[in-house]
Amino acid sequence: MALKVVATPIGNLGDITLRAIEALKAAEIVIGEERRVVSTLLKRLGIENRDLRLLNEHSSDADVVELLQLCREKDVALVSDAGTPGFCDPGARLVAACRRENVPVTALPGASSLMCLLTLSGNRLDQFLFRGFLPAEREARDAALRELARESRPVIVMDTPYRLTKLLTELAERFPTRRALLGMDLTQESECIWEGLLPTIAARAAGQKAEFVLLIFPGGKMNESGSGGKMNESDPEGK
């Protein structure tokens, strides 16, 4: 049989693709990170009675082996909590196992918070660095921040919603003259796109919790017309 890696919406259910719906309807097993999230998605799509399995940061090697065997025997769909699975995501372990064992794997592309933010930047980005999640341990985190200080390309950084304030505060202290673009709750009614100097963005977002992606530009290389709140609100200084 096969594994289908299915991208799902990052916030707005209307962004799901026709192929994704077809794949989830056809799947005998759906693998996700959290049972509640997967169940809610399938219910909203009118899909019931699916065998749900989990693959997340707590999954063991034995769990991956068990899921691999299911991919050999059945039609399986892999989803993440939101967006594209297998990218900066626990699902990569199962994809790698399937490829090693010659179990067919196919990807159904769709919503991606990374690409969503890049298209909103107003800059042509021929190169950028996806840094993703910074290490949690202090020494490793400090080392990662020092590396970012030497980076000459735009950098994409992500983290969990409850670390938004902490991350922005750290970056503002390290890079007070850098401009950045912060996308929060992308594609949702609560979506906010804020552009400006890192200290200004950090002050504005203090205490907030939201799904987010942050694009940090090297010195001065950013669109001078920024925005705050909804994209149609003009706010050149990010205030």
Q: Could you give the CA distance from residue 224 to residue 195 in angstroms, rounded to a whole number? A: 9
Q: How confident is the model at residue 229 (pLDDT cuts 50, 70, 90)?
A: very low
Average pLDDT over residues 145-158: 93
Query: pLDDT at residue 157 above 50?
Result: yes
Superfamily designation of domain 2-108: Tetrapyrrole methylase, N-terminal domain (3.40.1010.10)
Share above pLDDT 90 across residues of the chain, in percent, rounded to a whole number: 85
Average pLDDT over residues 213-232: 57
Query: pLDDT at residue 54 above 50?
Result: yes
Superfamily designation of domain 113-216: Tetrapyrrole methylase, C-terminal domain (3.30.950.10)
3-state SS track over the chain:
CEEEEECECCCCHHHCCHHHHHHHHHCCEEEECCHHHHHHHHHHCCCCCCEEEECCCCCCHHHHHHHHHHHHHCEEEECCCCECCCCCCCCHHHHHHHHHCCCCEEEECCCCHHHHHHHCCCCCCCCCEEEEECCCCHHHHHHHHHHHHHCCCCEEEECCHHHHHHHHHHHHHHCCCCEEEEEECCCCCCCEEEEEEHHHHHHHHCCCCCCEEEEECCCCCCCCCCECCCCCCECCCCC
Q: pLDDT of 98-123, one tens digit each?
A: 999 999 999 999 999 999 999 999 88
- The two tokens of residue 145 are 């921040």
CB atoms within 10 A of CB 49: 5
The pLDDT of residue 19 is: 97
Q: What is the reported pTM?
A: 0.84
Query: pLDDT at residue 209 above 50?
Result: yes
| Same topology between domain 2-108 and domain 113-216 | no
Sketch the domain layout of the chain as residue ranges: 2-108, 113-216
The pLDDT of residue 219 is: 73
Q: Could you give the CA distance from residue 10 to residue 186 in angstroms, rounded to a whole number? A: 7
Indicate the average pLDDT of the chain. 90
